[in-house]
Amino acid sequence: MQCPRCHHNSLKVVDSRPADEGRAIRRRRECENCGYRFTTFERIEQTPVLVVKKNGTREEFNREKIMRGLVRAAEKRPVTMDQMTEIVDKIEHDIRQTGENEIRSEAIGELVMKYLASVDDVAYIRFASVYREFKDMSVFMKEVQEMMARENDSNDHHQVQDNKDESINEN
């Protein structure tokens, strides 16, 4: 491996730790020539998963493409890089758990929205607007209303649970 800054081949590992729920090793490395520090990840080489795009073409699954989409959707939002990395990890895990060697791009988009909705509403709407290619305001409003309904259902569930907890504490 070469240093990304000076391209020297003499590197030392400064720190190693598990990452991605034990499916990878994160290593901090330091160039012995220029002192530059950087991070690498080691993962098990797995059978490639092909993504079937809307036009029928196939390309290899790429975590970085999902991450780029998340970064764009979460721009200027309180979503951390760790949260986005966790979403990508969950998506890749879900895909590999199917045992299939092909997945439709639409299924990946749905997974992104599923996980992003629980992190940030605005980032979710941004991603959904690009992914679902909203044609007009009515389609956009329908998506927002569905999101608000899910939020209300979730709040109603928490309120019912809180009421149950209060009645238990009173007894």
Q: Return the percentage of the chain with pLDDT > 70, whole number.
A: 88
DSSP state of 136: S
Per-residue pLDDT at 95: 94
pTM: 0.60
Report how far residue 70's alpha carbon sits from residue 112's, in angstroms, rounded to the nearest whole number. Answer: 8
Per-residue pLDDT at 21: 79
Report how far residue 3's alpha carbon sits from residue 29's, in angstroms, rounded to the nearest whole number. Answer: 9
CATH numbers and ranges of domains, the chain: 1-45 (2.20.25), 46-134 (no CATH)
Edge-to-edge strand ranges of the sheet holding 24-31 = 11-19, 24-31, 37-43
Q: Is there a contact between 93 and 103 (Cβ–Cβ < 8 Å)? A: no
Report how far residue 73's alpha carbon sits from residue 126's, in angstroms, rounded to the nearest whole number. Answer: 5
Q: Is the pLDDT of residue 171 over 90?
A: no
Report how far residue 161's alpha carbon sits from residue 119's, in angstroms, rounded to the nearest whole number. Answer: 22
Inter-CA distances, 32 with 10, 37, 42, 90, Å: 6, 10, 21, 36
**SS3 state of residue 92:** helix
Per-residue pLDDT at 17: 94
Who wins on pLDDT, 147 or 49?
49
Q: Is there a contact between 52 and 63 (Cβ–Cβ < 8 Å)? A: no
As beta bridge partners, residue 25 has 18, 42
Q: What is the mean pLDDT of the chain?
A: 86
Q: Is the pLDDT of residue 166 over 80?
A: no
For 119, the enclosing helix (H) or strand (E) is none
**pLDDT tens-digit map of 133-154:** 766 677 777 877 887 887 777 6
